[in-house]
């Protein structure tokens, strides 16, 4: 059985990925090309006893060495032993697709053309002469409609046939002749270069000589370099420079632009010859749609509706879905509680605590899976439909004012600009931003958006500290809560925009910029499979984050929160208290008939656990039959906790309640003491001298430290610090009310101003570790990774200090400080929007363009 490799090449949106999925099914994996952040998709299929590996190359308009995508594509085509290259063409736009095809032919790869989107072409009244095209280009042409699998078999046949005919030599003679015809003005120069190259043994065998000649004539830096290396001399490179200079002097035109223009015209000419457009020039569907969707007035309006729809579907409807997910997660927790070592009266087995801690941490995150799924599916719909570039088109003007890019929008939506997102996929999605400077500005500010995980803390603090009603002009009485929510929702944007601008004027000043040139792809109806696949892929990424990093950090936090633990003296102290309480209980129930089975401490413990089990049952809304069945497990105990009529049962229950209350107070005290002593507690205390200016006490410090693992931890750590459950181990971490009450009760000094400072810190808070790692991957630099961590930390601390210390000095409450801060941020944003640095962007562009002298390149036709 032989193994073959084929590659898919094509311009963006020609349907490459669709062909790839159709050929390989679900058998595929994604990796990055070495050294660059360009994705490499590999899959395979089996056919007639043959395994064929398929590589989906990145979309490329051309094969120059300017962009990483094009360089990667070129390298694979040149160096990998490919038995066929499928060039996917958009049949509805033949001319545009052929521009790349001509370059592929020049590279003399074993080419098969998949003429995709035949359905779109037909609906536009475009007929194509497939045979004629095949003859003209000297390559097999297969018409396909890949979304419906049409032409798939024929394509596979063509791949199978390809390996039989080895027409490379024939090909190259013909293509060499073709070049000289295609580039008449450069014919003599190309001929000379070809002869020189053909004399080089090393080069001739590895590369098509005529292609090398063209690349040398184009002045392609990568090819020049590799020729220099391979031949070990500058001779060829120098000669190429001379020929280029001579060409330029003669024609007043740079050779590479001449060559590209000739290819464009050749593509247009072939397209004209082989496509028959019936009927008059009908305006394409997408263009008619854009007349509305990119309209001066309706465009932004529609965009607003889309954003609202996003918000509504993922956060309102998605939130409803979590009501279905939570019982499953809670059920899993109960199951674990059941199989773990049981708690003692005041002894909680460490292993039990540990497993439940991990489960709680993971559950808090998994609870969001439905929201994420909806969110990511909606984003996939936006991407596949082709609307995303329209958003970039509409918003570029605004975003650019702040050093960002129209194409930052996708990342910003993923990151949570609409309230709730995740910085990890958002950072990954910056890959599409062509301009390095705005890409970095986007990456560095994305974590300041409100990711999904920051929300629970906001909701917690808002519901405790902002309960009053305020009277607003026009609106009348409004609850502070809704105002604060709007504040938090919008303030992150008021951070992101000016900070992005400041960064791009300072630390990013010298980064490379690129012109904004983007194709508007035609609209497509997204396919179910495509959307589902992408949504699952991104949700999976999120789940992986939970199962790996978050869990790992949860383990570390657990250790830091539990050790060194109580001193032996304190342990003995609590033991003694417990013995006393148990003895008191046993004495009080002595001689009562129902209490016959209550003799030892173990019996008391089982009664308590029985009572708790029953309470949980009631809380979960169990049916009477289930309750009865539970009672039958221990009728005597059931009598005590259930029988309201018998005087005896009532009195025992009274005593039991006392004991239970003692137990929970003691457990809380122990836990508090343990955290007090713990490593993290000490660290939180050590930070207090600084953090007090921001209004953070040591508990808040501990919570903030825990968010570095994942933002969700803020609430669960606070939950652990403000324990006051009746049951000890069975923390109601899902029950927000309890934690809110607990926090309010135990933190009397905490005011709305404290809460406001904490929320603002949380907005800026350094990115969680998974995000930091994503930033490392996307920037490929440790320096930026560290910057992305420490810069927001510092900024967040300063902001919190400003709000808290400033607010205290002026005697403001949290709400007053909030809107004053908002006005400051808003003014800063507006100032930044109008502040123009010495036109960095333009100056650089001009410089780049003027380098080769000031002239117009035209007259290529």
Partner 1 sequence: MLPEKTVTVEKTLAELDPGETGRVLGIEGSGVLAQRLIDMGLYPGVLAVMLRRAPFGDPIEVEAEGAYITLRKDEARFVKVKKSA
Whether the ω angle into residue 564 lies within 30 degrees of 0, i.e. cis, is: yes
Virtual CA dihedral for 643, 645, 646, 648, nearest 10 degrees?
80
Q: Which residues bind ligand GDP (CB under 6 A)?
A: 10, 12-18, 59, 116-117, 119-120, 145-147, 384, 524, 526-527, 530
* C-beta of 63 vs 659, nearer to partner 1: 63
- CB under 5 to 8 A by kind: which of ligand GDP, Mg ion, partner 1, none does 515 bind? partner 1
- CB under 5 to 8 A by kind: which of partner 1, ligand GDP, Mg ion, none does 517 bind? partner 1
Minimum distance from residue 417 beta carbon to partner 1 (Å): 18
DSSP of 205-252: HHS-HHHHHHHHHHT-HHHHHHHHHHHTSSHHHHHHHHHHHHHHHHHS
Contact 770, 452 (CB under 8 A): no
CA distances from 46 to 23, 80, 162, 368, 702 (A): 10, 20, 16, 39, 55
Minimum distance from residue 420 beta carbon to partner 1 (Å): 27
> 539-543: long-range contacts at Cβ-Cβ below 8 A with a sequence spacing of 24 or more?
539/369, 539/372, 539/373, 539/376, 541/424, 541/425, 541/428, 542/365, 542/369, 542/372, 542/422, 542/424, 542/425, 543/366, 543/369
Dihedral sign, Cα of residue 417, residue 418, residue 421, residue 427: negative
* C-beta of 108 vs 275, nearer to ligand GDP: 275
- Residues 814-843 close enough to bind partner 1 by CB under 8 A: 841-842
Contact 466, 752 (CB under 8 A): yes
Tokens of 218: 């184009």
CA distance 664 to 660: 6
* C-beta of 276 vs 842, nearer to partner 1: 842
406 contributes a contact to partner 1 by CB under 8 A: yes
* C-beta of 658 vs 857, nearer to partner 1: 857
CA distances from 834 to 446, 663, 837 (A): 22, 63, 10
Tokens of 741: 């009450």
The rounded radius of gyration (Å) of the Cα atoms in the chain is 34
264 contributes a contact to partner 1 by CB under 8 A: yes
* C-beta of 202 vs 512, nearer to partner 1: 512
Longest dimension (CA), the chain: 118
Residues facing 476 on adjacent strands: 472
858 contributes a contact to partner 1 by CB under 8 A: yes
348 contributes a contact to partner 1 by CB under 8 A: no
- Residues 657-716 close enough to bind partner 1 by CB under 8 A: none
Tell me which stretch binds partner 1 (CB under 8 A): 22-30, 206-214, 476-484, 508-516. 508-516
The residue of the chain with the least Cβ separation from Mg ion equals 17
Residues facing 116 on adjacent strands: 90
Contact 670, 578 (CB under 8 A): no
Minimum distance from residue 263 beta carbon to Mg ion (Å): 23
- CB under 5 to 8 A by kind: which of partner 1, ligand GDP, Mg ion, none does 860 bind? partner 1
* C-beta of 38 vs 763, nearer to Mg ion: 38
Helix (H) or strand (E) holding 284: none
381 contributes a contact to partner 1 by CB under 8 A: no
Minimum distance from residue 399 beta carbon to ligand GDP (Å): 24
CA distance 407 to 425: 15
Among 2, 506, 782, 856, binds partner 1 (CB under 8 A): 856
* C-beta of 293 vs 560, nearer to ligand GDP: 293
Minimum distance from residue 781 beta carbon to partner 1 (Å): 23
66 contributes a contact to partner 1 by CB under 8 A: yes
CA distance 367 to 658: 36
Among 316, 398, 777, 824, binds partner 1 (CB under 8 A): 398
Minimum distance from residue 531 beta carbon to ligand GDP (Å): 10
845 contributes a contact to partner 1 by CB under 8 A: yes
Minimum distance from residue 535 beta carbon to ligand GDP (Å): 15
- Residues 79-108 close enough to bind partner 1 by CB under 8 A: 92-93, 95-96, 99
Minimum distance from residue 314 beta carbon to ligand GDP (Å): 21
Minimum distance from residue 382 beta carbon to Mg ion (Å): 15
> By the criterion CB under 8 A, which residues form the site for partner 1?
61-62, 64, 66, 92-93, 95-96, 99, 254, 256-257, 260-261, 264-265, 268, 286-287, 290-291, 294-297, 299-300, 389, 393-394, 396-398, 400, 406, 514-522, 841-842, 845-846, 848-861
């Amino acid at each position: 059985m032989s193994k073959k490799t084929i590659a898919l090449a094509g311009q963006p949106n020609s349907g490459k990925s669709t062909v790839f999925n159709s050929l390989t099914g679900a058998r595929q994996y994604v990796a990055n090309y070495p050294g660059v952040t360009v994705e490499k998709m590999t899959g395979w299929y089996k056919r007639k006893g043959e395994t064929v590996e398929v590589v989906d190359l990145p979309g490329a308009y051309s094969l120059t060495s300017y962009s990483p995508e094009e360089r990667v594509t070129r390298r694979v085509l040149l160096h990998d032993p490919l038995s066929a290259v499928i060039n996917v063409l958009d049949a509805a736009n033949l001319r545009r697709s052929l521009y790349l095809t001509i370059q592929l032919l020049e590279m003399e790869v074993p080419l098969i053309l998949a003429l995709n989107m035949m359905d779109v072409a037909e609906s536009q009244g475009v007929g194509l002469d497939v045979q004629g095209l095949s003859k003209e280009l000297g390559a097999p042409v297969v018409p396909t409609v890949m979304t419906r699998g049409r032409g798939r078999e024929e394509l596979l046949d063509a791949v199978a046939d390809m390996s039989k005919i080895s027409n490379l030599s024939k090909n190259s003679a013909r293509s060499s002749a073709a070049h000289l015809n295609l580039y008449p003005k450069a014919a003599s120069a190309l001929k000379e270069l070809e002869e020189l190259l053909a004399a080089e043994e090393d080069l001739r065998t590895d590369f098509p000589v005529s292609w090398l000649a063209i690349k040398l004539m184009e002045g392609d830096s990568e090819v020049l370099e590799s020729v220099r290396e391979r031949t070990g001399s500058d001779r060829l490179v120098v000669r190429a420079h001379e020929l280029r200079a001579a060409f330029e002097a003669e024609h007043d035109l740079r050779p590479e632009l001449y060559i590209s223009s000739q290819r464009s015209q050749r593509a247009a000419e072939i397209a004209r010859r082989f496509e028959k457009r019936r009927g008059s020039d009908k305006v394409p569907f997408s263009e008619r749609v854009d007349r509305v969707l990119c309209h001066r007035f309706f465009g932004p309006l529609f965009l607003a509706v889309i954003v609202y729809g996003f918000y509504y579907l993922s956060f309102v409807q998605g939130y409803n879905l979590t009501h279905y997910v939570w019982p499953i997660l809670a059920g899993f927790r109960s199951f674990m509680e059941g199989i773990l070592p049981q708690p003692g009266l005041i002894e909680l087995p460490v292993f039990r605590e540990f497993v439940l801690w991990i489960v709680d941490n993971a559950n808090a995150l998994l609870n969001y899976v439905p929201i994420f799924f909806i969110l990511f599916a909606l984003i996939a719909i936006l991407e596949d439909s082709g609307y995303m570039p329209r958003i970039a088109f509409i918003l570029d003007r605004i975003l650019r004012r702040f050093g960002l890019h129209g194409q930052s929008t996708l990342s910003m939506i993923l990151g949570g600009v609409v309230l709730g997102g995740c910085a990890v996929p958002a950072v990954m999605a910056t890959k599409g931003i062509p301009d390095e400077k705005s890409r970095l500005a986007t990456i560095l500010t994305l974590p300041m958006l409100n990711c999904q995980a920051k929300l629970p803390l906001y909701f917690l603090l808002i519901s405790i500290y902002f309960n009053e009603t305020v009277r607003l002009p026009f609106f009348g009485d409004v609850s502070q809560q809704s105002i604060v929510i709007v504040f938090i929702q919008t303030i992150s944007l008021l951070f992101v925009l000016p900070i992005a601008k400041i960064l791009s004027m300072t630390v990013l000043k010298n980064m490379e910029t690129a012109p904004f040139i983007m194709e508007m792809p035609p609209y497509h109806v997204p396919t179910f499979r495509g959307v589902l696949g992408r949504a699952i892929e991104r949700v999976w990424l999120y789940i992986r984050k939970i199962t790996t990093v978050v869990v790992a950090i949860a383990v570390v936090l657990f250790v830091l929160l539990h050790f060194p633990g109580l001193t032996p003296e304190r342990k003995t102290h609590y033991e003694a208290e417990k013995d006393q309480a148990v003895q008191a209980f046993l004495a009080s129930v002595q001689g009562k008939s129902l209490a016959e089975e209550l003799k030892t401490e173990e019996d008391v413990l089982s009664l308590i656990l029985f009572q708790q089990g029953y309470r949980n049952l009631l809380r979960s809304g169990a049916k009477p039959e289930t309750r009865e069945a539970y009672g039958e497990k221990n009728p005597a105990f059931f009598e005590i906790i259930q029988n309201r009529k018998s005087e005896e049962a009532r009195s025992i229950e009274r005593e039991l309640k006392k004991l239970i209350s003692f137990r929970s107070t003691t457990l809380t005290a122990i836990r508090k003491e343990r955290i007090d002593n713990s490593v993290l507690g000490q660290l939180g205390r050590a930070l207090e001298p600084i953090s007090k200016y921001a209004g953070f006490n040591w508990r808040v410090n501990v919570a903030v430290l825990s968010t570095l693992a994942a933002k969700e931890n803020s609430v669960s750590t606070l939950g652990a610090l403000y324990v006051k459950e009746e049951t000890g181990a069975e923390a109601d971490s899902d029950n927000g009310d309890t934690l809110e009450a607990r926090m309010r009760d135990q933190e009397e000094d905490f005011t709305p101003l404290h809460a406001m400072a904490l929320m603002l810190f949380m907005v800026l808070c350094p990115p969680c570790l998974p995000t930091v790692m994503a930033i490392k991957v996307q920037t490929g630099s440790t320096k930026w990774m560290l910057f992305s961590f420490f810069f927001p930390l510092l900024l967040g601390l300063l902001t919190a200090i400003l709000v808290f210390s400033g607010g205290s000095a002026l005697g403001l409450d949290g709400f007053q400080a909030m809107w004053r801060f908002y006005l400051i941020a808003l003014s800063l944003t507006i100032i930044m929007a109008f502040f123009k640095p010495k036109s960095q962007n333009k100056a650089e562009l001009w410089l780049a363009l003027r380098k080769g002298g000031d002239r117009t390149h035209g007259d290529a036709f």
